[in-house]
Amino acid sequence: MLDLLTGFVGELRAAGIPVSLTEHLDAAEAMRHVPIEDREALKYTLGASLVKSSAHWRAYETAFEIYFSLRGPEYRIDGDQDGAGELETDDAGRMNGQGRQQGQGRGRGSGGGEGMTPEELADLLYKALLGANDAMVAAVARQAVTRYAGMEAGRPVGGTYYLYRTLRNLDLDGVLERLMSEARSSTRALNDDLSTSAEAPPVTLTSLEERLLRDEFQARIDQLRAEIENEIRRRLVADRGSEALAKSLRKPLPEDIDVMHATRDELVALRKALVPLSRKLAVRLARKRRHGRKGPLDFRSTVRHSLSTGGVPVDPKFRYPRPSKPEIVVIADISGSVASFARFTLHLVHAISSQFSKVRSFVFIDGIDEVSRFFDRVDDPTDAVQRINTEADVIWVDGHSDYGHAFTVFWERWGEEITPRSSVLLLGDARNNYHASQAWVIKELRARARHVYWLNPEPRAYWNSGDSIVGEYAVHCDDVVECRTLRQLEQFVGNLA
């Protein structure tokens, strides 16, 4: 068991969760007090001693599920007990084998049996969801994985592939619609009964009830999805062992998610992480400004105070520090490929705008527009970022990135306003669709502004490949920074202020 824990801690560290030696000891101590067979209790107690931040919980959970997964014969991928000749048999045979075993092992007669038709399975799924029957949902998930995922032992495919295959066959959106229409018609039936029997007011599904019902079903479907995911993972663990799998399923911490390739769920996690991050960054910067440096020597004050010590300047006085706050100009590409990255950066910069004397933001695709006005007198940058998407006027010709044109227009219209106090941040992957680069604008900007930085959300290896011309701009910038994750972004902005 201790070996398992050590391996588990190693995996957590590999996933980026800092686990100190004391915490490891605590976890080992904790395991003595908790019944090992109570899996949920074990998960929470280990979590309490190993994971010290809620943002890390998701990564922890995944690792836990893998390392302490339920193991047993029913989770083997090749369901047939005979094993050896299994791989040659066709799919149908395998599914039957699995189905039979489940029927025996779990005593779920309705679900098991000699393999169900897809219609029966769909029907069962529908009933399970309608009745909110947890055990049944779990059974359906198992069946669905067996039937649709087409898992093969030893096949080096990620879990997401199997998940996709299973979900595609289940058509959950369709199921949701069916559930809703069923609910509607059942109220209508009730309504008919009532109107025939008495003078009761007609019962209809109000929009409020409808909304609640939809959320209810959606929650159940999410539960099913999680169940399917668990099932697939369990089988993969049984097939490949925990360590190999942990590596392939490792979920990045929110601050390490690659913004450009984030999935929808990851984007939600990112948005959640961004708010506390910007708040912490603002506190840190304010503190740095308050303490830290002292101003230059205040000669007059020093001499005056030295009179009490007979003219010996024992206690030198310093001027109150007034570090100048930089002025920030953000020019961001918001075309499809880098849109989410631009949004996060704008959000972060404006959230800590009190740390800058002025923040101006511009967005472009092939046209360019100033969006600072959206952020004025708004407490929460989220709304403003939303409005940028809908209201900013950034299309000039065809809505494909044209850095050259955007920069030229910027120079003509706002170039005068760049002063030696401004730091200019350029955001984008510099994929210019083979338009002219107009790099001279950056050169001019560099001559006027205090600094010009380029933040590129692409991995450094991809720079200057294909239509990326970041190199042409880079020669005129103070620095070009690879900025793919919130951690990198936070670091950059922190250094800037």
Q: Which residues bind another protein (CB under 8 A)?
A: 18, 20, 22-23, 25-26, 29-30, 33-35, 38, 40-41, 44-45, 47-49, 51-54, 57, 184, 205-208, 210-212, 215-216, 219, 276, 279-280, 283, 380, 382-383
> To which H or E segment does residue 148 belong?
none
Distance CA 59, CA 56 (A): 6
Radius of gyration of the chain from Cα atoms?
Answer: 30
By beta-carbon proximity to another protein, the closer residue of 276 and 316 is 276
By beta-carbon proximity to another protein, the closer residue of 260 and 286 is 286
Kindly state the tokens that stand for 102: 């489940």
- For residues 348 and 274, the answer to whether their CB atoms sit within 8 Å is yes
User: Please, what is the minimum distance in Å from the beta carbon of residue 212 to another protein?
Assistant: 5
- For residues 487 and 258, the answer to whether their CB atoms sit within 8 Å is no
How crowded is residue 216: how many other Cβ atoms within 10 Å of its Cβ?
14
Kindly state the tokens that stand for 251: 């979920």
By beta-carbon proximity to another protein, the closer residue of 137 and 205 is 205
Reduced to 3 states, what is the DSSP secondary structure of residue 107?
Answer: coil
User: Please, what is the minimum distance in Å from the beta carbon of residue 375 to another protein?
Assistant: 16
Q: What are phi and psi of 252, to 5 degrees?
A: -70, 150
Q: Which amino acid is located at 183 in the chain?
A: A
Strand order in the sheet with 327-333: 368-370, 358-364, 327-333, 422-427, 451-456, 479-482
Q: Which segments of 2-133 does DSSP mark as H helices, in order?
A: 2-14, 21-33, 39-50, 57-67, 91-106, 118-131
By beta-carbon proximity to another protein, the closer residue of 476 and 487 is 487
User: Please, what is the minimum distance in Å from the beta carbon of residue 188 to another protein?
Assistant: 10
Kindly state the tokens that stand for 83: 């094993």
By beta-carbon proximity to another protein, the closer residue of 185 and 419 is 185
By beta-carbon proximity to another protein, the closer residue of 47 and 494 is 47
In sign, the C-alpha dihedral spanning 441, 442, 443, 447 is: positive
By beta-carbon proximity to another protein, the closer residue of 91 and 215 is 215
Distance CA 67, CA 72 (A): 14
By beta-carbon proximity to another protein, the closer residue of 30 and 257 is 30
Q: Which amino acid is located at 68 in the chain?
A: F
Q: Is 426 left (phi over 0), alpha (psi -120 to 50) or beta?
A: beta
User: Please, what is the minimum distance in Å from the beta carbon of residue 47 to another protein?
Assistant: 8
User: Please, what is the minimum distance in Å from the beta carbon of residue 382 to another protein?
Assistant: 8
User: Please, what is the minimum distance in Å from the beta carbon of residue 265 to another protein?
Assistant: 14
User: Please, what is the minimum distance in Å from the beta carbon of residue 281 to another protein?
Assistant: 10
By beta-carbon proximity to another protein, the closer residue of 123 and 383 is 383
- For residues 367 and 401, the answer to whether their CB atoms sit within 8 Å is no
